[in-house]
Amino acid sequence: MTTTDPRENGERQGIQSVEMAMKVLLALESGGGALSLSAIAQASGMQPSKVHRYLVSLGRIGLTSQDPASGLYDFGAAMRRMGAESLRRTNEVAVVSGHAVQLRDRTGHSVNLAVWGDRGPIVVSWAYGTRPLPLTVRVGATLPLLTSSVGQVFLAHLPESLTDEVLSGELQGREAEWTSERLAATRARIRGEGHVVTHSGVIPGIISVAAPVFAAGDPLPLAVSVVLPESLGTPDHLAEVTEELRDTVAAASHELGYLP
């Protein structure tokens, strides 16, 4: 007859209890604010009486708190401290680079990641795809604001006080082409659509599709772009690539703690 080590059962029960407690915390996260006991129970798929016991234990160690006036539950002080410390330790570029490589693997196209620098967007990583390109942009290169998809992402999502100096330099001699009305419309369109598509913006014969990645508590986004030959940019394929990109930046932003 097979016997079971009671210590093994204890370990299993302990792990299961942690998982159930995490369901309660995840329900609080998904609520976007303070929640009632019944709302937490519904979101976690647990009975209210069981949820209450977990909330009592989580509250004792500061992971949850209850408002005395409303009776609603929310994250506690210990949870806020851990969240802040977790974000402090996060290497945003490394996190997004991992998502960029997965995007490259799914699409077969080259994917690059850019951050904002003193003189404009800087390419910090480039995941080469299986589709040959006539030319690539080296890591460390600074991209233009107006003609690159990555640049337009930053143009739309950064405060104008950060982009004005770089923009002024690019606008010299092009004021008639890039009027203030066109700039405002471009910013609004990109914010509304959530991505940018440029054709031969930096490299002739290349389509680039870019979208922003946001992190909690950081006003400066990152930008991810998929680069593909113009010959492969049929409407259907471009739509597929764009959807993959949007899914990728949403997942990366979520991992970095951003809540839209």
| Percent of the chain with pLDDT strictly greater than 90 | 57
How many other CB atoms are there within 10 angstroms of residue 81's CB atom? 11
Q: Give residue-wise pLDDT tens across range 204-221.
A: 889 999 999 998 877 779
Taking 80 as the threshold, does the pLDDT of residue 17 lie above it? yes
The per-residue pLDDT for 4 is: 47
Give the model's confidence band at 192: pLDDT under 50 very low, under 70 low, under 90 confident, else very high.
very high
Average pLDDT estimate for 30-59: 91
The per-residue pLDDT for 1 is: 46
The per-residue pLDDT for 85 is: 66
Give the model's confidence band at 2: pLDDT under 50 very low, under 70 low, under 90 confident, else very high.
very low
The per-residue pLDDT for 6 is: 45
What's the helix, strand, coil split of the chain in %, to 5? 50, 20, 30
Give pTM, 2 decimals: 0.68
Strands 73-75 and 110-117 turn out to be unpaired
Q: Please, are residues 38 and 45 in contact by the beta-carbon 8 Å criterion?
A: no
For residues 209 and 241, give the distance between their C-alpha atoms in angstroms, rounded to a whole number: 8
Taking 90 as the threshold, does the pLDDT of residue 112 lie above it? yes
Q: Give residue-wise pLDDT tens across range 136-170.
A: 778 888 999 999 999 999 999 999 989 999 999 99
The 8 Å CB, 24+ separation contacts for 123-128 are: 123/150, 124/93, 124/97, 125/93, 125/97, 125/100, 127/97, 127/100, 127/101, 127/103, 128/104
